[in-house]
A and B are shown apart, each in its own frame.
Chain A
Amino acid sequence: MEMYSSVPEFRVIIDRQACRLCKRCIENCSFGALEWRDNKVKAFDDRCVACQRCVSMCPEDAIALRRTPSAMSAHPIWTENARRDVFTQSRTGAILLASTGNELHERVIFDNLLLDACQVTNPAIDPLREPIELRTYIGRKPRFVELEELDDSLKLKTELSPALRLEIPIMIAQMSYGAISLEAHEALARAAVMRGTTMGSGEGGLHKKLYPYADHIIVQVASGRFGVHPAYLEAGAAVEIKIGQGAKPGIGGHLPGTKITEEISEARMIPVGADAISPAPHHDIYSIEDLAQLVNSLKEATRYKKPVLVKIAAVHNVAAISSGICRAGADAIVIDGFRAGTGATPKVIRDNVGIPIELALASVDQRLREEGIRNETSIIASGTIRNSGDVAKAIALGADAVKIGTAALIALGCTVCKRCYTGKCAWGIATQDPRLRSRLDPVEGAQHVSNLLLAWSIELKEILGAAGINSIESLRGNRDRLRGYGLDHTMLEILGVQPAGS
């Protein structure tokens, strides 16, 4: 009867001749897939998640992981995953949890968009010799500016709204302390400082260790209001109201009590061991007017010194909703696409709810332009930004900046084994186990994330230079510098992009 559970997804292959029985692999496996039996390492394939920890820790390269494609007879519709899910749910009667992002829809529209470059008629710019501006200001921009002429200078008369100054148009996404470890949180904060950008506190409050970096941290206010207090609001570079996230639009979150350790409890300000429940809606927001009230209360709380961002998942009516959010006074709208990652979400929601970030972004930018309010808010796009090409394309589709989550975690050592929800992350990222956490060095991790951001920044300058553009601002919403390749007419229309060759 328990047939499926005995068909493992991966096979751990140990080279018995090379293995010197040091047991390091056993110590490193946090999923219990390797045990010491009869004086040798025994693998329990069904527990293996292919996180690669043992493979990389084996001093003799004696371990290899193989996928087991022949384990089940093939069926194009009843895939192994589909069968496994039915089996699991038939034995538990429960909601299937998943981590990371959408696995059902493999198509990424970014891959069907092509960037432009100069040839002959207008010169390309060499970013190695000429300055190319990546600095980005996030916040409300005035419709026009009034200047006052002084004797030998000009003075700005227009009162500007508070803005976030970013040296690069790439921010680190909101990931909570609780979903990820303190070491991961610290590494991301340090990286944000190093590259002149921001990271997000997530909705779990801010550990006191992170306060020194708080001028590069956007503090989040979510429906659970965990760890939200005056010092937290005043510390952050900006405040972000989380309405939804791409991996679970319309869904609240339950951080299980088993993960509420002493330290998490302190940051979230809730008792150890009790579930941390973030309700699906904010109970003080039932309308755009109510959202405006929360935006304004946060502006009042921070004495109008910090931008207030509002994050939503990309859903069907994203353009109209964004118009409302802009009118509610948000200084920036963060739109999280349906491929966005997460520590834990119901799989059915992750794979089936929401729309792609590319389409959401284009339609929001278009709508705000049509309504003449695009200057009143910044747009930040997130949900599988995998490389600098995606960054450039997102900006050309209308984003002011992008946020990266999974990419930053991969830089920290994440191998996308998709088991964040277990809390057993062997790389010390999505775990609160002190033994596992100690595997992640925040300083080294910060350097890796910083390197990634640096590399993408240099590449962005190359992309801009090639297009003959010397400032990222001139790429924003510049869909003329994009062409669609293999996209249907309707999609091109929504994206506001011409087909390649036209």
Chain B
Amino acid sequence: MRIVANYKHYKELNEEIFQAVQAGVAELTLEDVNGQRFIADCLKGKLNIDIYGTPGNDLGMFMDGPTVTVFGNAQDGVGNTMSSGKIIIHGDGRDILGHSMRGGKIFVRGDVGYRVGIHMKTYKSNVPIIVAGGRAGDFLGEYMAGGMIIVLGIHNRAKKAEILGDWIATGQHGGAIYVRGNVDDSKLGNGASQFPLTSDDEIAVKKVLKEYCHVFGLDLESLLDSEFTKIAPLSHRPYAALYTCE
């Protein structure tokens, strides 16, 4: 089914999407999307949504199952508090992408903004995954409690721009961030440190990147040619010694 978003208010657009999903539509194409917010908010089950244009903030918030593909850039809050499913962005993502995400995958072809993957968490088999093809801004993985973030810096190498912003993984107490290339310790916030990749890490990263490369038609081998850096927490209880009582 095809819906032209054009200048519709997000309420109207999302109601149309909701009604279509209720009616059993499993393949949706949204065209001329112009910053409408909350697309695929809290949608569940097997469902494909292709988006042409620029979806607005909180794309796929609370989402549990669907696959959303954006042929363009996305704005802030992609996959906010998302439970499962997949969001593929063929352009850039912006700030707080994957905030408090607890499952599913977000694959971004280009760069991501500030505070990406903040407070992501793992629960049993739910392991949220974010892959950014370009660079990531400040506060990546702050308070990260679980899951996996991979930053590839594919385009930044030529430009010699830095792959990561500052204050990476401040307060991290779970999960891991893998960065293609070297990371200066000065980039890390309190609570996180650099570790060598174990063979398990390498297998996990390769598995995710295989899927990522398949989605975007990239060459896996050339990506895996480079060294990866792992950023992980020093403790699962970073603030255990902060408190006392009578």
Answer yes or no: B180 CB below 8 A from chain A CBs: no
* A-B contacts, 29 listed (Cβ < 8 Å): A84-B246, A85-B246, A88-B246, A95-B242, A95-B244, A96-B246, A97-B244, A224-B119, A225-B100, A254-B239, A269-B102, A273-B236, A274-B146, A274-B174, A274-B237, A275-B173, A275-B236, A275-B238, A277-B173, A284-B58, A284-B80, A284-B96, A284-B99, A293-B37, A301-B41, A301-B62, A302-B42, A303-B18, A422-B245
Is the CB–CB distance between B236 and A228 below 8 Å? no
Known: A230-B42, A270-B146, A274-B174. A301 touches B61 (CB 8 A): yes
A271 at the interface (CB under 8 A from B): yes
Q: Does A142 contact B (CB under 8 A)?
A: no
Q: Which of A94, A224, A275, A301 contacts B42 (CB 8 A)?
A: A301
Cα separation A257 to B238 with both chains bound (whole Å): 10
* Interface Cβ pair total, 8 Å cutoff: 132
Binary per-residue interface labels of chain B (13-32) against chain A in the complex, 1 for a CB within 8 Å, 0 otherwise: 01000100000000000000
CA distance A97 to B96 in the complex (A): 31
A297 to B78, CA, bound (A): 12
Contact flags B112-129 to A (C-beta < 8 A → 1, else 0): 000100110111001000
Q: A256-B240, A284-B77, A301-B42 are in contact. Are A293 and B173 (CB under 8 A)?
A: no
B57 at the interface (CB under 8 A from A): yes
Contact residues in A for B100 (Cβ distance below 8 Å): 224-225, 228, 283
Residues of chain B within 8 A of A342, CB atoms compared: none
Contact indicator A277/B171 (Cβ below 8 Å): yes
Say whether A105 faces chain B, with CB atoms less than 8 Å apart: no
Residue of chain A at shortest CB distance from B58:
A297
Contact B244 A297 (CB under 8 A): no
Number of interface residues of A (CB under 8 A): 41
Within 8 A of B (CB), among A269-291: 269-271, 273-275, 277, 279, 283-284
A96 touches B64 (CB 8 A): no
- Max chain B C-beta neighbours (<10 A), residue from A98, A228, A265, A269: A269
Q: A88-B245, A95-B243, A228-B100 are in contact. List 6 more A-B contacts (CB 8 A).
A: A95-B242, A96-B246, A97-B243, A97-B244, A228-B81, A283-B115
- Interface hub of B61, B64, B118 (most chain A Cβ within 10 A): B61
Q: Tell me whether A96 and B244 are in contact (CB under 8 A).
A: yes
Nearest opposing residue in chain A for B139, CB measure:
A283
- Which size bracket describes the interface of B in this complex? 35 or more
- Bound-state CA distance A271–B236 (Å) is 10
A residues near B (Cβ < 8 Å) are 84-85, 88-89, 92, 94-98, 224-225, 228-230, 233-234, 254, 256-257, 265, 269-271, 273-275, 277, 279, 283-284, 293, 296-297, 300-303, 346, 421-422
Taking the closest CB of chain A, its distance from the CB of B119, in whole angstroms, is 7
Cβ contacts under 8 Å, B92 to chain A:
none
Measured in the bound complex, the distance between the Cα atoms of B142 and A85 in whole Å is 33
Cross-chain contact of B14 among A85, A95, A300 (Cβ < 8 A): A300
Report whether A228 and B237 are in contact in the complex, using a CB–CB cutoff of 8 Å.
Answer: no
How close is B38's CB to chain A, nearest CB, in angstroms?
A: 4
Contact A274 B80 (CB under 8 A): no
Give A233 to B80 CA distance when docked, in angstroms.
14
Provided the pairs A88-B246, A230-B44, A277-B171 are in contact, do residues A283 and B236 lie with their beta carbons within 8 angstroms? no
B143: CB under 8 A from chain A? yes
Q: Check B237 against A256 for contact (C-beta < 8 Å).
A: yes
Asked whether B67 is an interface residue with its Cβ less than 8 Å from the other chain, the reply is no
| A98 and B245 alpha carbons, distance in the complex (Å) | 7
Cβ 8 A contact of A277, one of B64, B99, B123, B143: B143
Contact residue among A97, A257, A265, A297 (Cβ-Cβ distance under 8 Å from B61): A297
Residues in A with CB closer than 8 Å to B236 are 257, 271, 273-275
